[in-house]
């Protein structure tokens, strides 16, 4: 039986769909706009994120990125073939290396008399090694070591895990006995929802699925032409103290309506000594034209403190749309809704336009302007305007 909270969430999902799905709306979900429905096509991790396969690198260089910086005589085949480590052509089959960096420029309340000073944050820098075994490369390992900046909330004296400037972001061994089945054992991102790069989005920060929330476990993956499913039992991050490790299981299912449209659902339940977490979400990835696409996720989050036993349920909706204006250049709009506690009427709306540009393989420049407003039963906050710029490098 559906509870009032679940009914409310469904109503919000349907309302949001009616608002954002006129015929001229577009969005950006994992390049489904180029008719790639599965993350496995371009990533070693079948659920997305992490290092790119040779095909993924070639696709980024020869289809996604701009080519204005190349000589006109340079062929697409040459650009794709030389999309390996630091623009090289792979010389052997069994080893792949990659480097990844993402930096952020942020100025909060820039349209206000009390605006903050701009800050530059080096969000992460990762080095990855892929080692492949077997005649068909169906067994491989992935190791990623990354720079993890001290959270600003930790102050000058971080402790525990926050005191370590470097960490393993993922390490696992994978076996794919055939094109449909795969087993991944080690530390990976939890299988849930749409993995967008915006780690501050409510669909990632509220759910505890941001860039430092990996877990040890076993991912079982299955895919065919019509659907894809991942089941991920996990025991928590073994680097953390045992009392705060979240152990449980998550699952994600997506059904392919056609080459450019997928719908899906995700579920996660986990528990530590102090906290019990439950997540559920519905998500959709759709494409329009060549390179235009839409992603949408609506979710319900339940967090129950086992001592003293208080429970808070939250709702969120995330939409991000991409319009391919030219090769390598995308316009986008991100819209988010958050109800931090379903027992109150307080809610937050955040929306912002931006652009994303890939001048050539391995370089991404992005800028966004966000407008946020908080609504309560008695008042509405003033608009907060934030400016964010990103530089993303991968080689």
Q: Measure the CA–CA gap between 210 and 187, rounded to whole angstroms.
A: 14
Confidence (pLDDT) at 387? 93
Nearest CA-CA partner of 43 in 60, 29, 55, 35: 55
How wide is the angle at C-alpha 305 spanned by C-alphas 10 and 236, nearest 5°? 85
> Residue 207 belongs to what domain range?
4-152+161-394
Pick the closest to residue 215 from 244, 237, 246, 183 (CA basis).
237
Q: How many domains does the chain have?
A: 1
Cα 143 to the center of its chain, rounded Å: 19
- Please state the separation of Cα 391 from the chain's center in Å: 16
Per DSSP, which regions of the chain are E strands?
95-107, 119-133, 139-147, 166-175, 181-188, 215-223, 227-236, 247-258, 261-271, 275-288, 292-305, 311-326, 329-339, 347-360, 363-375, 384-394
Give the pLDDT score at 152.
Answer: 55
- Distance of alpha carbon 4 from alpha carbon 10, whole angstroms: 10
- Whether 64 contacts 55, CB under 8 Å: no
Residue 392 to residue 10: CA distance in whole angstroms: 36
CATH of the domain at 190: 2.40.160.10
Q: What is the pLDDT of residues 20-45, one digit of tens each?
A: 333 333 333 457 777 778 888 888 99
Output the pLDDT for position 121: 87
Instruction: Render pLDDT for 76-106 as a digit per residue (tens, 0 to 9).
Output: 899 999 888 888 888 888 999 999 898 999 9
Place of tokens 């990844």: 100
Q: Residue 199's pLDDT is what? A: 77
Burial of residue 152 (number of CB atoms within 10 Å: 0-12, 13-18, 19+): exposed
Digitized pLDDT (tens) for each residue of the chain, 395 residues in all: 444 454 444 444 443 433 333 333 333 345 777 777 888 888 899 988 888 889 889 988 888 899 998 888 889 899 999 888 888 888 888 999 999 898 999 998 887 777 678 999 888 899 999 999 988 889 999 999 988 766 555 555 555 555 567 788 899 999 999 999 999 999 999 999 998 878 788 999 899 988 788 999 999 999 999 999 999 999 999 988 999 999 999 999 999 998 889 999 999 999 999 999 999 999 999 888 888 889 999 999 999 998 887 899 999 999 998 899 999 999 999 999 999 999 999 999 999 999 999 999 899 999 999 999 999 988 999 899 999 999 999 88
């Amino acid at each position: 039986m559906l509870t009032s909270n679940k009914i409310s969430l469904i109503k919000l999902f349907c309302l949001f769909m009616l608002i954002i799905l006129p015929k001229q709306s577009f969005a950006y979900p994992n390049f489904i706009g180029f008719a790639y429905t599965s993350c496995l096509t371009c990533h070693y991790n079948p659920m997305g994120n992490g290092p790119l396969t040779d095909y993924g690198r070639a696709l980024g260089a020869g289809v996604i990125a701009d080519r204005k910086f190349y000589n006109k005589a340079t062929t697409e085949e040459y650009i794709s073939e030389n999309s390996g480590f630091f623009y090289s052509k792979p010389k052997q089959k069994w080893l792949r290396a990659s480097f990844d960096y993402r930096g952020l420029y942020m100025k909060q309340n820039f349209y206000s008399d009390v605006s903050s000073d701009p800050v530059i944050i080096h969000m992460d820098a990762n080095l990855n090694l892929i080692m492949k075994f077997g005649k068909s490369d169906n067994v491989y390992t992935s190791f990623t070591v990354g720079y993890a900046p001290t959270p600003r909330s930790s102050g000058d004296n971080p402790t525990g895990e926050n005191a370590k400037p470097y960490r393993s972001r993922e390490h696992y061994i994978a076996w794919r006995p055939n094109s449909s089945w795969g087993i991944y054992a080690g530390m990976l991102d939890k299988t849930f929802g749409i993995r967008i790069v915006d780690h501050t989005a409510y669909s990632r920060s509220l759910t505890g699925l941001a860039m430092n929330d990996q877990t040890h476990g076993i991912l079982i993956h299955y895919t065919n032409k019509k659907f894809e499913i991942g089941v991920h039992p996990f025991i928590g991050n073994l680097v953390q103290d045992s009392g705060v490790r979240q152990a449980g299981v998550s699952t994600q299912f997506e059904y392919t309506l056609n080459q450019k449209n997928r719908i899906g659902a995700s579920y996660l339940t986990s528990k530590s000594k102090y906290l019990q977490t439950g997540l559920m979400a519905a998500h959709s990835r759709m494409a329009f034209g060549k390179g235009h696409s839409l992603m949408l996720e609506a979710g319900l989050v339940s967090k129950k403190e086992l001592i003293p036993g208080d429970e808070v349920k939250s709702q969120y909706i995330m939409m991000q749309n991409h319009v391919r204006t030219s090769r390598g250049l995308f316009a986008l709009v991100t819209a988010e809704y958050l109800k931090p506690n379903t027992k109150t009427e307080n809610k937050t709306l955040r929306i912002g336009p931006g652009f994303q540009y890939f001048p050539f393989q391995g370089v991404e420049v992005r800028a966004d302007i966000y407008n946020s407003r908080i609504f309560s039963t008695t008042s509405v906050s003033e608009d907060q305007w934030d400016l964010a710029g990103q530089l993303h490098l991968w080689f």
